[in-house]
């Protein structure tokens, strides 16, 4: 009895798939970009007096962030560095864990 071609293709595709891998540098760059945009928005919100609760929280959580132009730039740099490092490490660990399971 012959197997239908559709089923054979699916079985071949499933057996040939490997664990997805993350490229750490672009992954970290994308996350750092998002962090920079969020920090920029919070800096702008602080200047115009909108979303003051969020701005106050960012001032508490980030060492260099203040709702001034210089403080916003410093906060962006801080967020980019912290986010980039941690997401790079996350991608590396993910790749190692998924590589060891296959």
Whether this model's pTM surpasses 0.85 = no
d(CA 100, CA 94): 10
pLDDT band of residue 36 (cuts 50, 70, 90) is very high
What sign results for the dihedral spanned by CA atoms 94, 96, 97, 98?
A: positive
pLDDT digits (tens, 9 = 90+) for 41-87: 999 998 898 888 988 998 899 889 988 899 999 999 999 999 999 99
- Give the whole-angstrom CA distance, residue 28 versus residue 94: 13
Beta-carbon contacts of 92 under 8 Å, excluding residues fewer than 6 positions away, are 24
Cα 28 to chain centroid distance, Å, stands at 6
């Amino acid at each position: 009895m012959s197997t239908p071609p559709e089923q054979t293709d699916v079985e071949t595709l499933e057996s040939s798939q490997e664990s997805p891998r993350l490229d750490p540098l672009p992954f970290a760059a994308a996350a750092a970009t998002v962090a920079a945009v969020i920090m920029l928005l919070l800096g702008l919100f602080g200047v115009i007096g909108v979303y003051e609760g969020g701005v106050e929280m960012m001032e508490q959580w980030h060492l260099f962030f203040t709702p001034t132009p210089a403080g916003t730039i410093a906060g962006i740099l801080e967020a980019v560095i912290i986010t980039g490092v941690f997401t790079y490490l996350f991608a590396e660990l993910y790749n190692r864990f998924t590589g060891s399971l296959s």
